[in-house]
Structure 1
Amino acid sequence: MWESTGPAAQALGALPSLAAAGTLVWAVARPRPALRQRLGRLAHPTTVCATLSLITTATMPQAGFGSAWKLVEVAFLLILLAVITRWSPLRELVPALPLAALAVTVWPLVLVSGESFLESIGIATFWLLPAAGAVAAGAHLRRQEARRRNAVAEARSAQRLQLSRDLHDFVAHDISGIVVQAQAARFVAATDPTQAMLALERIEKAGLSALAAMDRTVEMLNGPEAPAATEPLPGVSQLQSLIDDFTSAGATEAYLELPPVVTDLLSREAGTAAYRIVVEALTNVRRHAPDASRATVAFVPTATTVEIRVTNDRSTRAPARRRASRGGLGLPALTEHAQALGGTLSAGPYGGDGWRLTAVLPAMPRG
């Protein structure tokens, strides 16, 4: 048996403490960018330190100087327990946590070898509490970090969804107008150069509008540190210009019925959503009902809502069904947006061969 105060006992008692201290120094004495990676690799060294602690507990009496080393050793093991619970991969925690907790729990039992079984259980339970506390602290920090990562991932997902909606709602509308104008200019270029020049001017205007939407998208991609966009998102006040551009770009005559009170009833977010809804509806008319002669955009205010009706005649509904089956971003995304605002959106056949999109958005209380 080792002498508890001899040099050999002192060296053996100090070994687990020195190993645990060296493990912590190895992890933190590195440049900050590598610190997270080092902390995540402490599970295996902790297993080694806990094994050394259990060996010294089982092979030497704990008294005098050896007991002092054990207290230092337990302190280091508790720190390692918290660190590995926070940083190490879950698969590496399976051997490390039980061994380290066991080493913290059983070390004083050799000091009370003459006590009853129940007293030994009480002592072990008492020393299990700090081990459980260290694991709980590490688990709490790990959970907080997981929540933070999930929040960041959700924010990025929402931003990507918003970007895709912007690209679809605005850029696709402008590009479809460019295509229509280019087709018209090709047919009238030889016989009516004046009309061809007007079509080219409208193509230029639609192209500039698409570039503005792309600029807003790039600014959002640059992150929160980028300067805010100077051009606000369009709302109901820009609808008349949208209707005029749509009519001038094709054969379908578009009409707007917008009571002045609607501007005051819709919040800024709801007004932007209303504009997006009208853009999507008119874009679908241009794509799927190019032979429509008339499209009507009507806003119907009530006491608590504003209803938007976009109706066109002679709708070609089969292409619309094919587009929906591909999971397009247009109407499904706008339906989710309207529901998020507390409203609804639906679309379907109307009046024989026509088509109608109906959206209901909540209105702000009247003053």
Structure 2
Amino acid sequence: MTRSRVLLAAVGAAAVLALALVVSPEFRPVRDTPTVLGVLVLATLIATWPAGKRTLGPVVGAVAVGTLVGVGYWLQNPTIGGGIWSLEQTAVLMVLLALLCRWASPRWVLTVGPAAVVAESLLILQTTGAPVMTGWEAAGACVFWSLAGLVGAGSGLYLRLLDVRRAAAVANARRLQRTRLAADLHDGVAHDVSAMVLQAQAAQVLLGQRAEDVQEVLNRIEADGARALASMQRSIRVLREGEAERPVAQPEYPVVQRVIAEALRNAGKHGDGNGVTLTITNGLPPAAMPRGPGLRYGLSSLADEVTAAGGTFSAGPDGDRWTVRMELPS
């Protein structure tokens, strides 16, 4: 709460009530007290904002009940119409409905909102004065007058919907960041650690019993690398949980990566427009050669991405070689 806001709210409330007294000097308590209550409540909400959000439901409900009671008493002995007092109360309820539907909990919106719209619609009967409209004429007039309250409620609900969409967009952006982080972990570290473990295992096979000291060091390298991969796999699983995996770059050698990139550029420039086919093969290690542990996210990510683009993807042994094949339509 700031002093300037309190001053603004007080001056605004005083100006609104003063205008009503100037236009309609004869103050009638039964008819005009709900308007005074509504103006003061709205001014208090403005002065205490945003703390006033917590009390929106009860205070809007109190204004709606006050309006209904005031109109009900007036209808028992209808005299002069509400005039500017009823018009100001209509405007107050319109603003309060907008605030309610924008900031209050759904429970308060569903319970207080309809009552406030009904109270606002009935003000037309008091506004027109005696004799009071009846029958279909009264029903039509109330429906028409309720448009002000419905506009206020609709404005608040629209702004609330924008908040929901904005929150969803932020959550989606965070999920994408986590997915990209997981892919970056895979690209930047997983292959190197896998190669380290694989080489340590291969060295152990070659060394046999000839170098116990080196064997012990290699054992420690293998164990450390395996633990690092297991820890990274857990981290990536958490980051990617429930997310579509971003395709990650598979080439392990920079020269191969550049050749593939240049070939794709040439295909884009000089291709026949019938799509792109990419085949990469490499020899399989001997059966006795141990395989390093992997994260198993690279190929599955590529398969998902290629399938989503309308293409086909396969990866697996082909005789004594490992073949990765991708076909994309034009």
What interval of TM-score do these two structures reach, taking the shorter chain for normalisation? 0.5 to 0.7
RMSD: 4.5
The answer to whether the Cα contact below 8 Å between 1:86 and 1:141 also exists between their aligned partners in 2 is: yes
Residues 66 and 76 of structure 1, relative CA distance in 2, 3 Å threshold: same
Give the match for residue 175 of structure 1.
193
In 2, Cα distance between equivalents of 1:161 and 1:266? 30
In 2, Cα distance between equivalents of 1:125 and 1:338? 57
Measure how far apart 1:114 and its partner are.
Answer: 4.3
Measure how far apart 1:183 and its partner are.
Answer: 4.7
* Pairs aligned (count): 269
1:155 matched to 2:173? The reply is yes
The equivalent position to 1:43 in structure 2, one of 57, 79, 90, is 57
Q: Secondary structure at the match of 1:115?
A: coil
TM-score (norm. length: structure 2):
0.64
Larger RCO (CA under 8 A, 6+ residues apart): 2
In 2, Cα distance between equivalents of 1:66 and 1:183? 92
The equivalent position to 1:52 in structure 2, one of 66, 80, 96, is 66
Measure how far apart 1:342 and its partner are.
Answer: 5.2
TM-score (norm. length: structure 1):
0.58
User: Structure 2 matches for 1:128-167, cutoff 5 A?
Assistant: 128-167=146-185
Q: Secondary structure at the match of 2:195?
A: helix
Residues 29 and 185 of structure 1, relative CA distance in 2, 3 Å threshold: farther
User: Structure 2 matches for 1:201-280, cutoff 5 A?
Assistant: 240-241=253-254, 258=259, 262-265=263-266
Measure how far apart 1:50 and its partner are.
Answer: 0.1
Q: What amino acid is aligned across from residue 56 of structure 2 in structure 1?
A: L
Measure how far apart 1:99 and its partner are.
Answer: 0.8
In 2, Cα distance between equivalents of 1:65 and 1:346? 81
In 1, Cα distance between equivalents of 2:83 and 2:115? 20
In 1, Cα distance between equivalents of 2:107 and 2:197? 56
1:304 matched to 2:318? The reply is no
The answer to whether the Cα contact below 8 Å between 1:112 and 1:120 also exists between their aligned partners in 2 is: no
In 2, Cα distance between equivalents of 1:135 and 1:155? 30
The answer to whether the Cα contact below 8 Å between 2:61 and 2:112 also exists between their aligned partners in 1 is: yes
Q: Secondary structure at the match of 2:280?
A: strand
In 2, Cα distance between equivalents of 1:262 and 1:362? 17
Measure how far apart 1:164 and its partner are.
Answer: 1.1
In 2, Cα distance between equivalents of 1:356 and 1:94? 61
User: Structure 2 matches for 1:1-367, cutoff 5 A?
Assistant: 9-10=28-29, 12-30=30-48, 35=50, 38-39=52-53, 41-60=55-74, 66-110=82-126, 111-183=129-201, 240-241=253-254, 258=259, 262-265=263-266, 304-313=275-284, 329-341=297-309, 343-351=311-319, 355-361=322-328
Q: What amino acid is aligned across from residue 59 of structure 2 in structure 1?
A: P
The answer to whether the Cα contact below 8 Å between 2:97 and 2:152 also exists between their aligned partners in 1 is: yes
In 2, Cα distance between equivalents of 1:235 and 1:360? 17
Measure how far apart 1:56 and its partner are.
Answer: 0.8
The answer to whether the Cα contact below 8 Å between 2:100 and 2:156 also exists between their aligned partners in 1 is: yes
Residues 135 and 360 of structure 1, relative CA distance in 2, 3 Å threshold: same
**Cα deviation code 1:103-123 (max 9, x no counterpart):** 111123243554341211121
Residues 242 and 19 of structure 1, relative CA distance in 2, 3 Å threshold: farther
Q: Secondary structure at the match of 2:96?
A: helix
In 1, Cα distance between equivalents of 2:120 and 2:181? 53
Measure how far apart 1:74 and its partner are.
Answer: 1.5
> Share of identical aligned residues, percent?
27
Give the match for residue 274 of structure 1.
none
Q: What amino acid is aligned across from residue 150 of structure 1 in structure 2?
A: A
Residues 70 and 306 of structure 1, relative CA distance in 2, 3 Å threshold: same
Residues 311 and 257 of structure 1, relative CA distance in 2, 3 Å threshold: farther
**Cα deviation code 1:178-210 (max 9, x no counterpart):** 32344566786x978xx99xx9xxx9xx9xxx9
